[in-house]
Amino acid sequence: MSFILRHFRRHGRHYLWGLVFLVATNALLMSIPWMLRGIIDALESGRATPSSLASGALLIAATAIALAIVRTWSRLFMLGASRRVVYDVRNELFAHLQTLPASFYDRYRTGELMSRAVNDLRLIRSLYGPCVLYAADLIFAYSIGLTLMAILDPLLTLAAVLPYPLLLAGVYRVSRTIHRRSNAAQEQLAEISNKVQENLTGINMVKAYAREESETRAFRSLCRTYLDRTIALARSRGLIGVLMRGLGGGGTLVVFWIGGLHVIERDLSLGGFVAFISYLVPLTDRTIIMGWILGTFQRGLGAVDRVREILAERSDIPGDAVVGPAPSLDGSVSIRNLTFAYPDGATAAPRPRLRGVDLDIPAGSLVGIVGRVGAGKSTLVRLLSAVYAVPPGTILLDGHDITALPTQHLRRHVGVVPQETFLFSRTIAENIALGRPDAPRERIEAVAEMAQLTRDLPQFTRGLDTIVGERGVTLSGGQRQRVALARALLLEPRILILDDALSSIDADTEEAILKSLRGSMRGRTTLLVSHRVAPLMDADLIVVLSDGRIAEAGDPRSLLRRDDGLFGRMVRQQRIESELEAM
Ligand code: ATP
């Protein structure tokens, strides 16, 4: 309720004006039958003259024009306010999503979040717009209309409103079925767009594996279900039309009969009878709309709940809540008995991916991290930049517990080049400058040079100013990795982490990159996760991970001397492989 009221309050002025115009709308609307009554009664009694008739008609026309104007204003204010509310909620939701950590995005699928941002916001707009508008309209129309009708004929008024509860309940019931069917159709439409999106993204795979026909068949089956669902929806919509007209018409018939008798018995004037029937139409319409709106109201509340569920999510990274002075960092890392499991909503005790890791990395060293696939290498380096929450006291940078360091400050000092990079559809230079949009051009060019990207620039039409395709598709895998490396270098981090980030780069270019890194990262710490051991031979420290534990750690030469060492085995194996390749 606090969420709902907060947004009403914020745009209270608009709603207030909307309500004022709505009262005026109903007053003008209800005055027209009253004027009609006067004219007809005058005609019947013979008091009417051509000029009184003309002035009556003019008055009705002027009222109708005024009605159209205030009606438009009432809708502009009320529906405009609902759009303002959705504008606020949409921005609040997006800004909040920016603050949520990786563990949140592991739990929610992108499609689900997109649906909340689009469909739920549409439902919330209906709640704040049409629901409020029609509910208020109903109250005003009932109060003014029923009062005037009761003045004309109290008994007839009772007969007229008797079928209303039935009308309301009937429409509400059918509208629930319509909403359910409309949801099912919407979901199917979402499936169809997902399918199109996935198919177009992976069109090269579809063609490479000759799946065109089966993809078309699967698509047709999705469309068939959508067709069935929309036809079922059209059927319920048709039913609601019949129900509305049937019940409304039946009610009018009863009023016609009883009202007609009252006119014959002279209990009601002919003008009063016409006015009464004219009041019936807007009241019946509003009752029907109310039945419909009740369903929309419920769905709107459901949408508010779902959006609030996301807004109530908080980052579990302790550093996100830390404010205050941020110490300068030099680049030494201490890891103390670190055991870590990815948060998993489904299991109370998820399997740890790192167990009892102890490690000391002096500032300025080059550290190689190796191990089999899934050994926990990426997990370990991810934790250094606080992508996931770690227990306090387990990771220290220059003696500062990372849980006590403001996350943004930490990330300015820890540059990460991930295994899979993401490039935005902007220029290469803008992609490099992601973390420092105001970086001077010379710096961008310098880091592009360090990442060995400059040699590729002549291949692009506009060099660094070439716009890359969606997610960087117009660059090769190796070029994408080097853009990502330049992006991290631009931050001039105290700790640089390359998480298997040179895997798509040939050995010579990798060697050149590492050489320039040794120069530019002098005095800074570099962590190199790699499947290739050759680039790690001049590392200060090698850490071998196996099933989340440190199996070996030491300088490469001492590790090589061990007969049964994992690192030694990897080096020998890769040497044999490269000799075989060379043959
Ligand atoms: P590779 O050499 O293949 O990159 P790695 O040593 O870097 O492997 P990690 O990516 O650290 O391995 O993964 C270690 C384990 O953690 C794997 O078993 C993986 O399935 C699991 N894992 C990785 N990321 C997540 C995640 N976000 N949520 C849950 N489990 C994860």
Does 470 or 246 have the greater pLDDT score?
Answer: 246
For residue 380, how far is its CA from the centre of ligand 1 (angstroms)? 10
For residue 102, how far is its CA from the centre of ligand 1 (angstroms)? 14
Local confidence band at 217 (pLDDT 50, 70, 90 cut-offs) = very high
Tell me the average pLDDT across 400-418. Answer: 89
CA distance 166 to 247: 8
SS (H, E, C) 464-505: HHCECCHHHCCCCHHHHHHHHHHHHHHCCCCEEEEECCCCCC
For residue 376, how far is its CA from the centre of ligand 1 (angstroms)? 6
Q: Which amino acid is at 68?
A: A
Does residue 245 surpass a pLDDT of 80?
no
Index of the ligand 1 atom closest to the CA of residue 529: 7
For residue 246, how far is its CA from the centre of ligand 1 (angstroms)? 63
Return the residue whose CA atom lies nearest to atom 12 of ligand 1: 374
Pocket of ligand 1 (CB under 6 A): 106, 342, 353, 371, 373-379, 419, 500
CA distances from 99 to 119, 177, 313, 478 (A): 22, 38, 10, 31
Does residue 335 surpass a pLDDT of 90?
yes
Does 364 or 295 have the greater pLDDT score?
Answer: 364
Index of the ligand 1 atom closest to the CA of residue 103: 27
Per-residue confidence (pLDDT) for residue 179, from 0 to 100: 81
Report the candidate in 243, 330, 248, 323 with the shortest Cα–Cα distance to residue 525.
Answer: 330
Per-residue confidence (pLDDT) for residue 106, from 0 to 100: 86
Q: Which two tokens stand for residue 401?
A: 């517990």
Per-residue confidence (pLDDT) for residue 500, from 0 to 100: 85
Local confidence band at 301 (pLDDT 50, 70, 90 cut-offs) = confident
For residue 556, how far is its CA from the centre of ligand 1 (angstroms)? 25
Local confidence band at 350 (pLDDT 50, 70, 90 cut-offs) = confident
Question: pLDDT tens digits, residue range 500-553?
Answer: 888 777 878 888 888 887 777 777 899 999 888 877 888 899 999 988 999 888
Max Cα-Cα span within the chain: 123
What's the gap between Cα 451 and its chain centre? 35
Q: What is the dihedral of CA 510, 383, 388, 121, to 10 degrees?
A: -30
The residues near 452 (Cβ < 8 Å, ≥ 6 apart) are: 482, 509, 512, 513, 516
Return the residue whose CA atom lies nearest to atom 26 of ligand 1: 342
Tell me the average pLDDT across 291-301. Answer: 82
Pairing of strands 549-554, 541-546: antiparallel
Under 8 Å between Cβ of 115 and 324 = no
CA distance 36 to 44: 12
Local confidence band at 248 (pLDDT 50, 70, 90 cut-offs) = confident
The preferred substitution site among 338, 379, 502, 531 for testing ligand 1, maximizing ligand atoms within 8 Å of CB, is 379
Question: pLDDT tens digits, residue range 90-128?
Answer: 999 999 999 999 889 888 877 778 878 888 899 899 999
CA distances from 103 to 315, 341, 343, 385 (A): 9, 11, 7, 14
Looking at the chain, the whole-number percentage of residues with pLDDT higher than 70 is: 99
Per-residue confidence (pLDDT) for residue 504, from 0 to 100: 77
Return the residue whose CA atom lies nearest to atom 29 of ligand 1: 342
Report the candidate in 373, 382, 381, 369 with the shortest Cα–Cα distance to residue 552.
Answer: 369
The dihedrals phi and psi of 31, each to the nearest 5 degrees, come to -80, -25
Per-residue confidence (pLDDT) for residue 344, from 0 to 100: 78
Tell me the average pLDDT across 15-36. Answer: 94
3-state SS class at 292: helix
Question: pLDDT tens digits, residue range 170-195?
Answer: 888 888 888 888 888 878 887 888 78
CA distance 46 to 304: 60
With tokens 């500032």, the residue in question is: 363
